[in-house]
């Protein structure tokens, strides 16, 4: 029977941690996409969540267009 040292346990723990992180990212990404679908499809447009998401998307779109018009520098855009 093979012996598993402490380094192998750390390697297994690292792999499990990376996979768990991917699952957490997928979960929250899915929740965010559901909120954005509500904004785009305009289902129940009177809820505060939809109004807030629309406001955030409008702000990001405005900043993007400012960057395209060269009002914002590349440092301000990436920061």
Name the residue range of residue 68's domain.
Answer: 6-78
pLDDT tens string 47-65? 777 777 778 888 888 888 8
63 vs 30: CA distance, rounded Å = 25
**Domain annotation covers residue 33:** yes
Paired tokens of 33? 């996409």
**Domain annotation covers residue 49:** yes
**Domain annotation covers residue 1:** no
49 vs 53: CA distance, rounded Å = 6
Q: Provide the pLDDT for residue 51.
A: 74
**Domain annotation covers residue 53:** yes
How many domains does the chain fold into?
Answer: 1
> Distance of alpha carbon 8 from its chain centroid, rounded?
32
pLDDT band at 44 (very low <50, low <70, confident <90, very high): low
| Residue whose entry in the numeric block shows the structure tokens 């965010």 | 32
**Domain annotation covers residue 19:** yes
| Residue whose entry in the numeric block shows the structure tokens 């992180």 | 21
Instruction: Specify whether the CB–CB gap between 57 and 39 falls below 8 A.
Output: yes
């Amino acid at each position: 029977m093979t012996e598993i040292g402490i380094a192998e346990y750390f390697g297994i723990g690292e792999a499990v941690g990376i996979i768990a992180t991917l699952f957490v990212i997928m979960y929250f990404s899915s929740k965010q996409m559901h909120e954005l679908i509500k904004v785009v499809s305009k289902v129940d447009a009177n809820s505060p969540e939809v109004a807030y998401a629309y406001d955030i998307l409008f702000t990001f779109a405005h900043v993007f267009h400012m960057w395209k018009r060269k009002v914002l520098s590349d440092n301000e855009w990436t920061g």
